[in-house]
Amino acid sequence: MPQLLPLRQYDEHDVVNLFSYSGTIPVNKGTFVKCAFNSGWRTDETSIEELGAVGVSIPGIISNRWGTYARVTAAGTGDYAIGMLLYDVKETDENGEKLIFKRQKADEMQVALSGQTVPIVTRGIFLWSGTINGAVTAGAVLYPSGAGDLTVNSVNQNVKLGRTLGMPNGKNHTLIYLNVL
Given this model, what pLDDT does residue 165 score?
94
Neighbours of 64 (CB within 10 A): 9
Task: Give the number of other Cβ atoms within 10 Å of residue 137's Cβ.
Answer: 10
112-170 pLDDT, tens digit per residue, is 998 889 999 999 999 999 888 888 899 999 998 887 789 898 777 788 999 999 888 88
**Is residue 107 scored above 90 in pLDDT?**
yes
pLDDT at 132: 87
Q: Structure pTM?
A: 0.86
Q: What is the pLDDT of residue 39?
A: 63
8 A C-beta contact, residue 179 and residue 159: no
Buried b (16+ CB within 10 A) or exposed e, 87-114: bbbbbeeeeeeebbeeeeebeeeebbbb
Taking only the tens place, the pLDDT of each residue in 48-103 is 666 666 666 667 766 677 778 888 999 988 889 999 999 999 999 999 998 988 98
For a pLDDT cut of 70, what percent of the chain falls above it?
86
Question: Count of domains in the chain?
Answer: 1
The predicted structure's pLDDT at residue 131: 85
pLDDT of residue 36: 87
> Quick check: 177 pLDDT over 90?
yes
pLDDT per position as a tens digit, 28-49? 999 999 998 766 676 666 666 6
For 51, the domain range is 3-179
Task: Please say whether the beta carbons of 31 and 74 come within 8 A.
Answer: yes
pLDDT score of 148: 79
Tell me which DSSP letter residue 100 carries: G
- State the Cα–Cα distance between residues 39 and 36, nearest whole angstrom: 5
Per-residue confidence (pLDDT) for residue 51, from 0 to 100: 67
